[in-house]
Amino acid sequence: MRLMVRSRRGGSVARSRRSARALLAGLLTGLLTAGVALAPASPVFAADDPATGLRVMPLGDSITFGKGDPASNGYRATLCSWLTEAGVPVDFVGSQHNGTGADNDHEGHPGWRIAQLTDGIDQWMADSTPDVVLLDIGTNDLLHHDHLAEAPDRLRTLLDHIVISNPQVQILLAELLVVDDGHAADFQAYNAAVAELAAQYPANVTLVDMSAVPVANTVDHVHPNALGYQQMAFQWYEALRGVLPSGRSWSPVPPS
């Protein structure tokens, strides 16, 4: 699953906090690259100090926005609740704001394709300075048959922009929920390419299998229903437990 934290920084204090987080992320990356096992530990970000909390950017299309959920929370409100209950201070960040959850910031843009996110990502990264990006994109490229063979290359370009903006960022990259009605083969091929692409960014990208969410748990064969979004939240949360050094000590949550 996933983590979130919100803070507003300024001046030399902001720079020192970003430097400290960058140092911590760099150390973690070095340990993971060296194959060093990280023992369970108490949360790295103190729950009683929101200014040091983890900044998480949900990034994607209408699924990130929460379409299909009457409250437009999608997976975000559930994930935020689980992280809070686990003692993980988290701040969702982004230029978009909708839903009824405790933290409604995100970068979910209904109808958008990979290239459109790439057009905006540099500004969003500069404005929001996320530590973690939850990236779920490509569904609209596939549904509109937008140069399908080139979709993985467009995704690579987006990933490059994110990593260049913050070399210590952790990107949780979703394999897409597989849309049926004649599209399944395209989605399966894209997901296979996504898995190969994720492996090329070992220090920054973790693959998250959203294809585990069945089409039966959608409202229209594309957008999850309440159960489907809860299952997405579970996938993000479990992935975050493995990425962040304090995650192995969190209590697991049920997938449904």
Please tell me the predicted confidence (pLDDT) of residue 255.
66
What is the pLDDT, as a whole number, of residue 23? 33
* Max Cα distance, the chain (Å): 55
Q: Residue 191's pLDDT is what?
A: 97
Q: Are strands 96-97 and 105-108 parallel, antiparallel or unpaired?
A: antiparallel
Alpha-carbon torsion (191, 197, 203, 205), positive or negative: negative
pTM of the complete model beyond 0.85: no
Ordered alpha helix ranges (H), the chain: 11-33, 62-65, 76-85, 114-128, 139-143, 151-165, 184-198, 226-243
Q: What pLDDT sits at residue 53?
A: 78
pLDDT value, residue 246: 81
Low-confidence spans in the chain with pLDDT less than 50:
1-50
Radius of gyration of the chain (CA): 17
User: What pLDDT is attached to residue 248?
Assistant: 83
Q: Closest Cα to residue 129, out of 7, 253, 35, 1?
A: 7
* Per-residue pLDDT at 250: 87
C-beta separation of 1 from 83 below 8 A? yes
Which residue, 129, 88, 94, 125, is CA-closest to 3? 88
Distances 67 to 61, 91, 179, 189, 223 between C-alpha atoms, Å: 9, 21, 15, 25, 6
Domains identified in the chain and CATH numbers:
53-245 (3.40.50.1110)
3-state secondary structure of 132: strand
Cα dihedral 44, 101, 233, 160 sign: negative
